[in-house]
Each structure stands twice: as C-alpha cells, then as structure tokens.
Amino acid sequence: MILLNIFHVNTGNGMIQKINDYQIKNLVKYLDKTLLLENAALKRLPTQINETSLDEVKQRMIQHLKHTFNQKNKLEQIIFEFKEKYEYLDLVTTNTSIVSNTNNAKENSFQTSEKRSYTKNENLIDDIAPFPEQAEFAKIKQDYIIEYDELVAYETLIQIAEMTEFEDKGAVMKLLNESKQEEELMVYWFQLHAPIVLDNLWPKMINNAMKRSQAFLMDHKNSKMGLIIMYADLVGSTKMSMTLPIKDLVLLIRAFTHELSNVIERYHGYILKYSGDAVISFFPYVDKDTKYNSCTRAIECAKSIIEAIKKEINSILSEKYNYPELQVKIGIDEGENAIIQYGYEKNSPIDILGYCMNIVSKITSLTAPNSISLGENAFMLLEEETQVDFLMLSMPESNWKYINPDTNTHYTIYRSFL
C-alpha cells in the first residue's frame, strides 16, 4: 500500500493501474497453480480409496474427494470470472492436457523423493517388490506430503489475494478461506490418525521383515558364518521417552524403524532384531568377493539411512508437524558369528552371537549423530577411494580395551567425517 501511494504521488493513476494489472496476473497465475493441485488430487484420490485396506482412511478420503471436487469448481469459477472481467489483460491459464502431465509429474516427484537416497548407488541395490502393507504406507505418506503442500498453496494464494484489489473481493476471499479450512482439517486428520494407521499396518510390515530374516537364519542355524553387522541407533530416544506423549513417541519410533527397515532391505540386508531404539541388521557373504560387496552395501546403506532420516522423516514430521528432529548413529563391522537357535522346536528363537556383534554395539555408542563408525575389519575391506571418507579414531587404551584376535594388537575404529 505504501508503494502504491508513492507511485500515486509521482506518476499518477496510470502507474497504479499497471501495478494492479500485474497483481491481477500474479493472482490468476497462483489460482491456476492451485487448480492444478486440485485436479491432480481428483485423479489420485479415487485410486487411493480403492486400494486402501483401512476403512477409516477410506471414509475420510471419500469425504475429502467430495470437498476437493467442490474446491476445484470454485477455483474454475473464480478464474473464469477474472478472465471475463479483465479480458484486456489476456490472462493465460493452463489447459486441461497439462493438468494430466502435472499430476504425473507430482506422482513421479514423490517416487523420486522415495528413492533419492538410493539413486547414487543403483548398482548396489535391486528393485524389490514391497509388501502390500509397505506399499500402502508409502501411499499414505505420499498423501501426508501432498495435503500439506496443498495447504501451503492455499495460504500463499490467500496472501496474494489479500494484497490485490479486484471486484467481489469479499466473496472470493470467503471461497478461498473455506478451501483452506478443508485442507487444514485434512492435514490435521493425517496428523491425528498417523498412529492409528501405523497401528494397523506396522505389525504386518515388521512381521514380514522378521520372517525374511528368520528364514535365512534357520537355513544356517547352529553354525558359524561371516557377516557384516550393522547397528543403527536413534539419538536422544531416552530424553524423548521422558518428555513426549506416548502416542508421539510410538509414532516416531515406528517411523524411524520403518524407514530403516525399508532402506536395509533395499540393500539386501536382513533385519536381525528391533532392540529398544536400535535396528540391528546383517549382510551375509560366502567368499572374499562377496565379503567386499556386502561390506560396501552395508556402508552405502548406512549413508542412505542418514539421508532418509533427514529427507524423508524430518522433512515431514519435524518441519511440517513440529515433532523432534531425528538423528541416527551407525556402527558397522565384519567378522565370524555363531547362529544359535534356542530350543529344539521350529519356532524357537534364533539369534547371532560373536565378538563382532559385541564390538559393533560398542562402536555405535562412540559414534557421533548422523555419522558412521567402522571396525578395523570392515575398514580394511574397503577400496582406498572409500577409506578416505573415514578417519582413525584416537582413544586412550584405558577407554578401549578391544584387541584384534588375529594380530593381538589394539582394535582400531574409524569414523566418517563427510
């Protein structure tokens, strides 16, 4: 408004008209962008409704689909009226054919987001078909992100509309605020019901990951074999357990363990167990060549885990819903381990025991947040171009008494610095 007054004094009504025309064009551009989002939602939601196995999610999406259709009609009417009233501005909006492309682009954008931690190392992973529960969880997470983006789009649109002078402003603002309120309700619904969704899907997801691991271990029970062991520990979980409401704590732990499990399985690792705030996994090998490959997979997997925590969990739960930001510390080492089944029945518990398991646990406790530490055995398997990413950790022998059994010398630890 101050800017308008200055131009009015210096240049008169002609300049004010030019400024207002620019504001109208900018407003219509953002109306059109928001309309594209609503059209994309109209193409996405029916598929989600048909495929979800959760009745509560299905019913809320059906309701939201109806509101989305109404919001789309409102936006189309507003744009149509602007084009009629300001015909001299030759306002340009996106045609319907581009709407379809935008929807595809949005879907592809999410898929890229889901995989962006892995594209650098495609040669180390294979496309593994996700379990149905994992696929549904990924789609719900997609909706989580998109609904928040739609809310931000409406908030931006309303801010621009408030700064622009045009006819029937009160009626237009009323329609836009009604649409924004629906998006707020949907975002709040996702936030409120995320624990319920996880309650329904998590047992099946975790059971499938554990079944795969247990099946592998059963094939090698009561024997010794070489393994790359990886511990991934959530930083600050004790404080969170003391300060967060239980529903928020459960949501964060499940989101953390799901994200880690998903990444580990993509790198052909196996989930050994979920232990408190840690995920313990292993990468088997059968000879010298596969030992190197398994170690490389584990390290690249660890890097992807850190990226996934930053870009997948924190970008949603922390930045958009004000949950505490999560960090992870990861320890990796290689060695021979014993696979022991407790009891004689087929379903008796089975676990991994060994010096390597013990060392990795200690290594992880010494690791900085969002960093990776390696034991000497794992470090020595790496090529020089990868070794340069790690520095030897200097510690007094009084604080670290582990010995390399092959050389009878102090066992060395290496920590990532990139």
Give the C-alpha separation, 67 to 375, whole Å. Answer: 56
Which ranges of 282-403 would DSSP assign to H, the alpha helix?
288-308, 355-365, 376-380, 384-387
Q: Are residues 257 and 367 in the same domain?
A: yes
CA distances from 404 to 173, 287, 339 (A): 71, 21, 21
List beta partners, residue 330.
232, 372
Tally of CB atoms within 10 A around 254 = 21
> How far apart are the C-alpha atoms of 366 and 393, rounded to whole Å?
10
Q: What is the mean pLDDT of residues 189-197?
A: 69
CATH code where residue 389 lies? 3.30.70.1230
251 and 394 share one domain: yes
The pLDDT of residue 47 is 84
Please state the domain count of the chain: 2
CA distance 312 to 329: 17
Q: How far apart, in whole angstroms, are the C-alpha atoms of residue 221 and residue 225?
A: 10
Residue 122 domain-assigned?
yes
Map 24-46 to HEC letters: HHHHHHHHHHHHHHHHHHHHHHH
357/292 same-domain check:
yes
Same domain, 172 and 237: no
pLDDT at residue number 60:
84
DSSP 186-217: HHHHHHHHHHHHHHHHHHHHHHHHHHHHHHHH
> Does any domain span residue 60?
yes
CB burial readout 286-323, b (16+ within 10 A) else e = eeeeebebbbbbbbbbbbbbbbbbbebbbebbbebbeb
What is the per-residue pLDDT across 294-335, written as a single tens digit (0 to 9) for each?
999 999 999 999 998 988 888 877 777 778 889 999 999 999
Residue 412 has what pLDDT? 92
Same domain flag for 57 and 161: yes
Percent residues over pLDDT 90 in the chain: 27
- Is there a contact between 382 and 376 (Cβ–Cβ < 8 Å)? no
Q: What pLDDT does 134 receive? A: 60
Distance CA 278, CA 237 (A): 10
205 occurs within a structural domain: no
Domain extent for 50: 2-196
232 & 328 share domain = yes
Q: Could you read off the pLDDT of 20-40 as tens digits, one per residue?
A: 888 888 898 889 889 998 888
Lowest mean pLDDT segment, chosen from 226-235, 343-352, 387-396: 343-352
Considering the domain architecture, whether residues 257 and 383 belong to the same structural domain is answered as yes
Which residues, listed in sequence order, are joined to residue 409 by a DSSP beta bridge? 404
- The owner of tokens 């319907």 is 96
CATH of the domain at 57: 1.20.1260.10
Q: Counting beta carbons within 10 angstroms of the beta carbon of residue 20, is it exposed (0 to 12), middle (13 to 18) or buried (19 or more)?
A: middle
Q: Which of the two residues, 60 and 54, has the higher pLDDT score?
A: 60
Report the chain's mean pLDDT, rounded to a whole number: 80
Write down the pLDDT at residue 285.
Answer: 92
pLDDT of 6 higher than 70? no
SS3 352: strand
Beta strands 390-392 and 413-416, pairing class: antiparallel
CA distance 67 to 178: 10
Q: Are residues 176 and 255 in the same domain?
A: no
Which pLDDT value is given to residue 379? 95
Instruction: Give the mean pLDDT of 347-357.
Output: 89
